[in-house]
Amino acid sequence: MRELRTLAVASGLLFALSLCSPSQSPGAGDLLKKVSEAYTNLKSYHFEVRATRSFNTPGRYISPEESRTVLAVAAPDRLHFEIRAQQNNQLTVSDGATTWTYLPQYKQYTKEDGALSDVSADAEPSEDSEDEDPVVTARFQLVTRFQNIAQEGKTAQLLPDEEIEVGGQKISCAVIELKLDTGGFQVSPVEQLWIDPKRNLVLKTVLKSKRPVRNQQVSTIDTREWTVARTDQSPDDDLFTFQPPRGVKLVQVLDTPFKPADWRGKTAADFTLKSLEGDEVSLNSLRGKVVLMSFWASWCGPCRHELPALANLETEMGGRGLVVLGINDEKGFAARNFLQNHNLTLRTLADPKHAVHKLYGVHSIPTLVVVNREGTVVCHFHGAVPENIIRGALKQAGLE
């Protein structure tokens, strides 16, 4: 979802910086207010957008990035989101009672009771977040941002009208250019909006920016063109239904190399493994305890550094209900020998067939999973984390 996220961050930066700008040309401000009002009053809509991101780097050719997005909403709580990009495809559908998310290239889908939270409709994407929900990004990019486009102080210039084609229909659009001083930022964006003056909807945007990369100025042009912009009727009911294709797998948590599994907020999947001592341990048998699972291996440097701290945490908090489980997929006596040689007391379960590693989407180690007393995952860390962060996760799980 990198295409959506990057473009949304650039648009968000433009919006944030424009609050510092002092002027706008006659007519532009009034039109932006009408745009803001139109998007604020949207109840149901169906947008389809083609996005292209092109680069101009001296002495180097970078292929353009292309994506297509579908975002349809029917009041009060039905939603259809689809992204088709070069690296990633996703479909999210909610009929108000059930929400499905489907990743075609990985043949996985999830099914959850309930509609998508309304919070995501007003959220703004974070530049630093690699885990940004693409639905949040799309809603900001195609709706929420334009609700706020008429913020006081925005610099805007009205350019000559221009005719564009949308869905086979030619529409004469007003064109507004937003230009601003970066105020010290390393990005200097200039954006143009093509606006249908009859409906006050944005039908095309072009965002141009420059930034220094390794002593070179990289120019970027982000173009979004609406191929469908329908707000006068409720979207087709077919958009809000989902029938899993043959051969796809229902999973509790989506797990892909592009985006590692995130079990936070989910009920921890049960499993049964044998400990290094030979007794069977099931996760469900520990319900009522706070469980810290550590996926580790003796050859893993960060794991070797982290394990003593985990063993000490169980010694300190075991009387208050903490159970630390190591999960190791090495064959033979590697795990047992490592623990003995380092005088570590850590209950470790053998997973030589990688069944639990696969269940929890472990692609790298160490991986930590914290489960509260009710069996819900409250934290899921990929990679080593400081002890204070682990303690904070245990506190979140109910251990004071």
Helix and strand numbers, DSSP H then E, in the chain: 9, 19
Alpha helix ranges (H) inside the chain: 2-18, 28-40, 119-122, 134-139, 145-147, 301-317, 334-341, 355-359, 387-396
225-245 pLDDT, tens digit each? 999 999 988 999 999 999 999
312-331 pLDDT, tens digit each? 999 999 999 999 999 999 88
Query: What is the rounded CA–CA span in Å between residue 14 and residue 27?
Result: 21
- Whether the predicted pLDDT of 3 surpasses 50: no
CATH 3.40.30.10 range(s) for the chain read: 260-396
Phi, psi for residue 197 in degrees, rounded to 5 = -70, -15
Average pLDDT across the chain, whole number = 84
Q: pTM (2 decimals)?
A: 0.66
Render the burial of 287-317: b for 16+ CB within 10 Å, e for the rest: eebbbbbbbbbbebeebbebbeebbebbeeb
Which of the four CATH numbers 3.30.160, 2.50.20, 1.20.80, 2.60.60 does domain 2-240 have?
2.50.20
Per-residue three-class SS string for 207-241: EEEEEEECCEEEEEEEEEEEEEEECCCCCCHHHHC
Residue 239 neighbours by CB distance under 10 Å: 20
Q: pLDDT-derived band of residue 187, with 50, 70 and 90 as boundaries?
A: low
CA 353, distance to chain mean position in Å, is 31
Maximum mean pLDDT: which of 53-67, 86-100, 212-226: 86-100
CATH 2.50.20 range(s) for the chain read: 2-240
Phi and psi based region of residue 332 (left: phi greater than 0; alpha: psi -120 to 50; beta: remaining): left
265-294 pLDDT, tens digit each? 889 989 999 999 999 999 999 999 999 999
- Whether the predicted pLDDT of 183 surpasses 70: no
- Whether the predicted pLDDT of 46 surpasses 60: yes
- Whether the predicted pLDDT of 169 surpasses 80: yes
Calculate the alpha carbon distances from 142 to 80, 154, 301 in Å.
13, 19, 45
Cβ–Cβ < 8 Å for 55, 218:
yes
Query: What is the rounded CA–CA span in Å between residue 345 and residue 250?
Result: 38
Q: pLDDT-derived band of residue 257, with 50, 70 and 90 as boundaries?
A: low
Percent of the chain with pLDDT over 70: 83
Between 21-25, 65-69, 154-158, 337-341, the lowest mean confidence (pLDDT) is in 21-25
Architecture of the CATH domain 260-396: 3-Layer(aba) Sandwich (3.40)
Average pLDDT for residues 6-28, to the nearest whole number?
Answer: 50
Between 15-29, 98-112, 352-366, 367-381, the lowest mean confidence (pLDDT) is in 15-29
- From the list 361, 129, 385, the residue with the least C-alpha distance to 260 is 361
Q: pLDDT-derived band of residue 56, with 50, 70 and 90 as boundaries?
A: confident
